[in-house]
């Protein structure tokens, strides 16, 4: 990309996060104000929260000039990302989890790999050399087992960590890939990366410092089953997938 002013959108998908949201937005806004050289914006993508998240999100959008609140009436983390990214006019689209489990120091390298590094897709990785991770042993085993399963089903796969909630993509790549990503929930990330590699996109990886959020909304058993079904579907369908409206 050229040296013209680029716009970067950082999407925070949320579901029932009224307590975590204010502190996360304050921290992220301060970080981007100090560190990001591009024109940036934070988008709170609320996917059908039933607590006080809508009121908190709207208040934050009034408090911070570069924060927007968007409401979806259907649940789905992947749906929130799909909707926010496809509606965006930013050059670079990114997202991170509301708990900020991934240290923000990795964000600028993530964005710059697309802004000037020649990549179209970039991810944070907890499994690359240099990453530092603190989480319960069960989550560690599940994560490594899942990424091993991906490697077995997709032997040419090169990315190391499909599930880290810390990713970026160019608008051009997003417009091509998102319509063929079918999943609207937790498998969205994995499917996006697999389709990206199938279409010849190199994926830049940033080793991250990551601390597990013990208040996570992820339901491990149902999410794992969704992931397995998704991997099998992607493995045995054409790379063009089935276009999702």
- CB burial string 180-206: b at 16+ within 10 A, e below: bbbbbbbbbbbbbbbbbbbeebebbbb
Residue 170 near residue 91, CB atoms below 8 Å? yes
State the catalytic residue, choosing from 89, 189, 209, 227.
189
Residue 116 near residue 30, CB atoms below 8 Å? no
Residue 159 near residue 123, CB atoms below 8 Å? yes
Intra-chain end-to-end CA distance of the chain, in Å: 28
Q: Among 240, 236, 116, which residue's Cα sits nearest to residue 180?
A: 240
- Give alpha helix (H) positions in the chain: 20-35, 53-63, 77-87, 107-115, 137-153, 171-177, 188-198, 220-235
Task: Answer left, alpha or beta for residue 162, where phi above 0 means left and psi between -120 and 50 means alpha.
Answer: alpha
Two tokens at 76? 């789905």
State the Cα–Cα distance between residues 30 and 1, nearest whole angstrom. 26
- Beta bridge mates, 190: none
Q: Is 189 a catalytic residue?
A: yes
- Give me the active site residues, please: 189
């Amino acid at each position: 990309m050229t040296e013209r002013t680029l716009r970067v959108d950082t999407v925070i998908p949320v579901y029932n996060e009224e307590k975590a949201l204010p502190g996360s937005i304050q921290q992220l806004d301060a970080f981007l104000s100090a560190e990001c050289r591009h024109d940036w914006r934070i988008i709170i993508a609320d996917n059908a929260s039933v607590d006080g998240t809508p009121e908190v999100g709207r208040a934050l959008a009034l408090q911070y000039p570069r924060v927007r609140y968007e409401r979806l009436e259907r649940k789905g983390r992947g749906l929130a990302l799909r909707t926010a990214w496809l509606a965006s006019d930013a050059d670079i689209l990114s997202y991170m989890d509301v708990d900020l489990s991934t240290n923000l120091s990795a964000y600028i390298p993530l964005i710059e790999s697309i802004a000037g590094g020649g990549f179209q897709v970039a991810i944070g990785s907890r499994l690359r050399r240099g990453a530092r991770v603190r989480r319960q042993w069960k989550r560690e085993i599940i994560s490594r087992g899942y990424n091993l399963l991906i490697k077995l089903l997709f032997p040419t796969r090169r990315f190391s960590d499909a599930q880290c909630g810390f990713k970026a993509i160019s608008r051009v790549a997003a417009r091509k890939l998102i319509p063929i990503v079918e999943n609207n929930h937790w498998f969205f990330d994995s499917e996006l990366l697999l389709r990206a590699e199938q279409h010849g996109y190199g994926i830049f990886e940033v080793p991250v410092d990551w601390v597990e959020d013990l208040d996570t909304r992820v339901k491990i058993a149902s999410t794992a089953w969704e992931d397995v079904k998704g991997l099998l579907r992607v493995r045995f369908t054409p790379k063009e997938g089935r276009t999702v409206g």
